[in-house]
Amino acid sequence: MAASVQTRRAGFRTTVVLYGLALAALVVALKYIEYRFLIRDLSVEVYIGVVAVLFTALGIWMGSKLLRRKQEEQVGVSHQVDEEALRRSGISGRELEVLQLMATGRSNQEIANQLFISLPTVKSHSSNLFMKLEVRRRTEAVHKAKSLGLIA
């Protein structure tokens, strides 16, 4: 889970660094062309065109990198569990078990039987769960948990 944070930050740094390198490389390349081939009067329009196209492409690429995670959260595209979101939510192991059974439509009593605990305990867990998810009903909890990728 901590590894996930590292990976994401590293990903962001990588993107920014590559962006800077691309910009530097472009300047160098233009200068090189200018002096190497003695073409001193390349029109400004040509420069603008080249730069505009290249950096539009770069922007699209960067945007897709940076926006992907956000969109996955919104739509829940990856049916995978977001470990990082799970950690951030502060939901404990037992609470998650209750949540998962809730999501399959089990009643509190059925959850209690399945986990070999009492009904009040299930209620206790679910109440804590609702607080942490900032919801008031189990259906809302399941919906939010799915959209956040806390459960599959």
46: contact with its own copies by CB under 8 A: no
Residue 118's binding partner among DNA, its own copies, none (Cβ under 5 to 8 angstroms by kind) is DNA
d(CA 131, CA 15) in angstroms, rounded, equals 37
Of 125, 124, 141, residue with least CA distance to 133: 141
Among 17, 57, 119, 131, binds its own copies (CB under 8 A): 57
131: contact with its own copies by CB under 8 A: no
State the DSSP string of 89-144. Answer: HT--HHHHHHHHHHHTT--HHHHHHHHT--HHHHHHHHHHHHHHHT-SSHHHHHHH
Least gap, CB of 78 to DNA (angstroms): 25
115: contact with its own copies by CB under 8 A: no
Among 91, 98, 112, 141, binds its own copies (CB under 8 A): 141
| Residue numbers 65-104 binding its own copies by CB under 8 A | 66-68, 71, 74-75, 77, 102-104
